[in-house]
């Protein structure tokens, strides 16, 4: 089981959390101007990275707040936990 | 076939103490170029190669596998075969597959131990039973066998099940597909490999594809750990790693890869002669011919490529299985493992063309690909040979995610397989 370090509550077991999938997907500002293919890309297409992956989690049975996790999808090792308004680790400021 | 299996070959080889059996397939060095290269030597990939040769006369084919054939999800599933899906498109595809299963051992000259022992899908609530009745009616309108059983009928079929009205998961009835059942998963890979090899297909193991070479928007071959292999057409059937291979061709897919777990018990005497599935409690169970209970769990919610999952998932599944079958509470589990399943948003596969010319993908089978092995290969072979999907797999295109024609099979396919 993963131990996830909630930025607000500290380390807790994975069963307290729900995974919200890939992080940093930005909803298009003007959906009406998109083609169907562009909308499908936003809605359905995913990086599904094998290796370092940025993803959203929510502390469902705790503070119920969302945050982001950097986790390797092969080793499952969590390398960073950061709040939604914080930049991804390693990304340009 | 070089070495046809029969009672006579068995007797003949007995005289030489079974030391002179030929290998079931060759292990040739890869040639520099093939007409068709299939990436992925699981059941679906091997079936694709077999049907390319048998149905379309295309034998200049290589199946390239990074590990050993059948070592991925083909060897990691719970071997359930059925075709009782809800929507027409899915039902037709899985029913084609089930019909191929029914003649597969004879067709391949290899005993895949397909056993039509029936598949029960339990209903634990009034809404479950309404959904079951709807699905069975839809199946029968599509010519697929299906029956709705009441509690007493379920109990008569499966005496060890806890059908008491005050059970934690009361059994209000079930759907039954008598033509469903199980097959021997390894034999499916080996049988397709041997039959494809006999028709001239090269099966190349321990050869990882590291790139997809393209020229003017068309595929020209694959980079591998053993050098470049040229191809007129490339078919990719890499299950959990589909997004990884797609990225090699600059493509994005609507797929997430998740660990799906299963486990087997120690072998016990015959106690369960059918397949019991319950979507509501995330569990499914059958007993193999060897005697072990084969139990499937659910997927982990996170993306994972590690071929292992969370303990909490199998804990939840076994808690439910023990509620349904109290007598199994003292059975010890022998082995537990995970496979990486490629899940689509609508729980249906993608089988078809891609924006790259002569590059084809067959993926997104998620938690239920094993049952589709022959039908998937059959339809994908048609797609590759004709550069056009068969009407059976045309609805399962990548374009459906932009046109909105999703085939929402979560009800029939979402959890239990």
Give me the mean pLDDT over the B215-232 stretch: 97
B313 Cβ contact list (under 8 Å, min separation 6) = B261, B297, B298, B299, B300
Assess contact for B322 and B328: CB atoms under 8 A.
Answer: yes
* Most B CBs within 10 Å, among A50, A72, A75, A78, to test the B interface: A50
The span from the CA of B399 to the CA of B355, in Å, is: 10
Assess contact for A48 and B255: CB atoms under 8 A.
Answer: yes
Q: What is the DSSP letter of B289?
A: T
The span from the CA of B327 to the CA of B345, in Å, is: 37
Specify the pairing of strand B359-363 against strand B227-236: parallel
Specify the pairing of strand B80-81 against strand B119-123: unpaired
The span from the CA of B146 to the CA of A33, in Å, is: 47
Banded pLDDT at B1 (limits 50, 70, 90): low
Residue B201 structure tokens: 């297909």
| Chain A contact for B319 (CB, 8 A cutoff) | no
Which residues on chain A place their C-beta less than 8 Å from a C-beta of chain B? Answer: 1-2, 14-15, 18-19, 21-22, 36-37, 39-41, 43-50, 53, 55, 71, 73-76
Chain A, chain B: beta-carbon pairs less than 8 Å apart: 67
Q: Who among A44, A53, A74 is closest to B345 (CB)?
A: A44
A53 Cβ contact list (under 8 Å, min separation 6) = A22, A47, A70, A71, A72, A73, B303
DSSP H helices in B113-240: 126-141, 151-157, 185-198
How high is the ipTM of this complex? 0.94
Helix and strand element counts for chain B (H, E): 12, 18
Q: Tell me which chain A residue has its CA closest to the CA of residue B311.
A: A1
The span from the CA of B75 to the CA of B42, in Å, is: 9
Give me the mean pLDDT over the B14-31 stretch: 94
Residues B64-109: tens digit of each pLDDT: 999 999 999 999 999 999 999 999 999 999 999 999 999 999 999 9
Q: Tell me which chain B residue has its CA closest to the CA of residue A39.
A: B402
pTM over 0.90? The answer is yes
The closest alpha carbon to A83, from A47, A58, A48, A53, belongs to A58
């Amino acid at each position: 089981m993963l131990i996830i370090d909630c930025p607000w509550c500290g380390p807790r077991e994975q069963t307290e959390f729900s995974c919200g999938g890939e992080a940093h997907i930005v909803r298009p500002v003007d959906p009406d101007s998109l083609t169907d293919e562009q909308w499908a890309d936003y809605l359905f297409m995913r990086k599904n990275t094998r290796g370092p992956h940025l993803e959203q989690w929510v502390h469902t049975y705790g503070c119920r707040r969302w945050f982001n996790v950097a986790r390797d999808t092969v080793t499952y090792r969590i390398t960073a936990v950061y709040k939604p308004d914080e930049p991804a680790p390693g990304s340009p400021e | 076939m070089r070495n046809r299996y029969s009672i006579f070959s068995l007797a003949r080889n007995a005289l030489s103490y079974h030391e002179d059996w030929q290998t079931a397939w060759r292990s040739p060095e890869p040639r520099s170029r093939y007409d068709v290269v299939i990436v992925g030597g699981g059941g679906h990939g091997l079936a694709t190669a077999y049907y390319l040769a048998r149905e379309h006369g295309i034998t200049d084919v290589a199946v390239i596998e990074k590990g050993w054939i059948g070592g991925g999800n083909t060897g990691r599933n719970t071997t359930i075969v059925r075709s009782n899906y809800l929507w027409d498109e899915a039902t037709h595809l899985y029913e084609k597959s089930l019909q191929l299963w029914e003649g597969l051992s004879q067709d391949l000259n290899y005993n895949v131990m397909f056993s039509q022992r029936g598949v029960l899908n339990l209903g634990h609530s009034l809404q479950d039973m309404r959904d079951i009745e709807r699905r069975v009616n839809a199946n029968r309108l599509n010519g697929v066998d299906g029956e709705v059983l009441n509690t007493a009928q379920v109990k008569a079929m499966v005496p060890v099940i806890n059908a008491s009205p005050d059970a934690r998961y009361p059994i209000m009835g079930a759907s039954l597909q008598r033509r469903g059942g199980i097959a021997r998963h390894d034999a499916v890979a080996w049988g397709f490999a041997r039959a494809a090899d006999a028709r001239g297909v090269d099966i190349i193991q321990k050869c990882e594809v590291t790139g997809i070479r393209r020229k003017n928007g068309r595929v020209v071959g694959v980079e591998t750990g053993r050098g470049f292999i040229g191809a007129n057409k490339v078919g990719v059937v890499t299950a959990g790693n589909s997004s990884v291979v797609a990225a090699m061709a600059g493509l994005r897919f609507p797929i997430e890869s998740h660990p799906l777990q299963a486990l087997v018990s120690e072998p016990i005497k015959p106690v369960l002669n059918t397949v019991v599935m319950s979507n509501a409690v995330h569990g499914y169970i059958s007993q193999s011919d060897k005697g072990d209970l084969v139990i499937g769990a659910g997927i982990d919610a996170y993306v994972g490529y590690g071929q292992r999952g969370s303990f909490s998932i199998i804990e939840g599944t076994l808690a439910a299985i023990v509620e349904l079958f109290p007598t199994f509470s003292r059975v010890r589990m022998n082995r537990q493992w995970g496979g990486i399943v490629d899940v689509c948003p609508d729980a249906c596969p993608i089988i078809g063309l891609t924006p790259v010319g002569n590059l084809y993908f067959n993926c997104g089978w998620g938690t239920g690909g094993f049952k589709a092995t022959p039908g998937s290969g059959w339809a994908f072979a048609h797609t590759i040979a004709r550069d056009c999907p068969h009407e059976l797999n045309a609805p399962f295109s990548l374009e459906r995610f932009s046109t909105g024609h999703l085939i929402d099979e979560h009800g029939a396919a979402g959890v239990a397989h």
